[in-house]
Structure 1
């Protein structure tokens, strides 16, 4: 029997794509997108959302600072489910296969408290986690060791009983340093192969 007692998923670029540049390139054009991202430093501001700030509140505070980008800023909230999209089908199948086998599933994600429910509303698979560790709720973000410690304490599971998939090396390194089993996610097939190797899914279930 596997020593893994819970599988922990990141969400952005693991279960759903997080490349908001793609949405803006389609809607306002690449040149305008490049100017918007550079002039407003929107990714830096979005880190505040992951750390617990209000998404609509952040947008409301930025619009007066960058009135020339009011439309683009409003889209960050109003079109959230176009920015954080689409789902990554093979990853979703893996999540559902694990859930169907009653493998305990957690998410550990840098995600805002306002926008996480928005994504759950359009992606039912995001409601299949047994425990949700959402940075915006916890006001802690990866790779802060404190958020990993919280998962251990809250779940009652020792690090060696957790396996965690994330697309960012710094988040994986922080988990590995605590003794978690980890997988640096680059493609769903690699994660599928790892789940099979750990005995959590069969090769057929991991397709």
Structure 2
């Protein structure tokens, strides 16, 4: 099996995505736990990631839960403070692959509005050969259709794709289509995977 292209998830692979950490810092862990127990903010975010309007969706949820309205609006008004920081070693791996001429794609659950905010902030998000962004595609991982769309639009067969994602269900869905999957738990392990597949040398993967 020869890998023809490498596919990166973004949240918790290239950029840390831990909204709970932000809310703990801003409002305290106890209040955050109470809010997340009552309000499915990650479900709200799934709507954004499937293409719903970013501000309208967040503000509609804020109106549904007036006791949490201020906190919920932070999801929109301070989104860059939720999606931070970048993971430098992962960014270096992305750039090392591109320097070797390996096609590199993103496959990410990301909203149209949030992508527009993130791409000016994080320059490396503009460096993929192609970014497959769920908000523009109208479907999110782990729906099999999003993987099929990447195959169709990239022209790379499933057995030529190596994919890193921090969520096991997303990886299992990719493997079910014949992709090679790596469950991302940190950049060192991902670096080792790329070396093992002969895509980078150990020196290039540092």
TM range (shorter): over 0.9
- 3-state SS of paired residue (1:129): coil
| Alpha-carbon separation, structure 1, partners of 2:74 and 2:15 | 18
Alignment match, 1:104? 103
Question: 2:44–2:58: 8 Å Cα contact kept in structure 1?
Answer: no
What is the CA RMSD across the aligned residues, in angstroms? 1.2
Alignment match, 1:154? 153
| Alpha-carbon separation, structure 2, partners of 1:65 and 1:144 | 28
Alignment match, 2:119? 120
Map 1:83-98 onto structure 2 (within 5 A).
Answer: 83-98=82-97
Q: Cα deviation per residue 1:127-170 (whole Å; 9 max; x = unaligned)?
A: 11111111111011111111111011001111111110011111
Alignment match, 1:181? 180
Is 1:198 aligned with 2:197?
Answer: yes
Alignment match, 1:61? 60
Alignment match, 1:164? 163
TM-score computed with the length of structure 1 as normaliser? 0.96
- 3-state SS of paired residue (2:181): strand
- 3-state SS of paired residue (2:63): coil
TM-score computed with the length of structure 2 as normaliser? 0.96
Alignment match, 1:27? 26
| Alpha-carbon separation, structure 1, partners of 2:32 and 2:81 | 15
| Alpha-carbon separation, structure 1, partners of 2:105 and 2:128 | 5
Is 1:5 aligned with 2:11?
Answer: no
Tell me, which stretches of 5 or more residues in structure 1 are unaligned?
Answer: none
Aligned length: 206
Question: 2:5–2:160: 8 Å Cα contact kept in structure 1?
Answer: yes
- 3-state SS of paired residue (1:201): coil
Which shows bigger deviation, 99-108 or 169-178?
A: 99-108
| Alpha-carbon separation, structure 1, partners of 2:58 and 2:172 | 32
- 3-state SS of paired residue (1:12): coil
| Alpha-carbon separation, structure 2, partners of 1:28 and 1:46 | 20
Tell me, which stretches of 5 or more residues in structure 2 are unaligned?
Answer: none
| Alpha-carbon separation, structure 2, partners of 1:49 and 1:21 | 18
Q: CA deviation at 1:185?
A: 0.7
Q: CA deviation at 1:46?
A: 1.2
Q: Cα deviation per residue 1:65-111 (whole Å; 9 max; x = unaligned)?
A: 11222221111011111101111111111111112222111000111
Q: List structure 1 runs of 4+ shifted beyond 2 angstroms.
A: none
| Alpha-carbon separation, structure 1, partners of 2:18 and 2:6 | 24
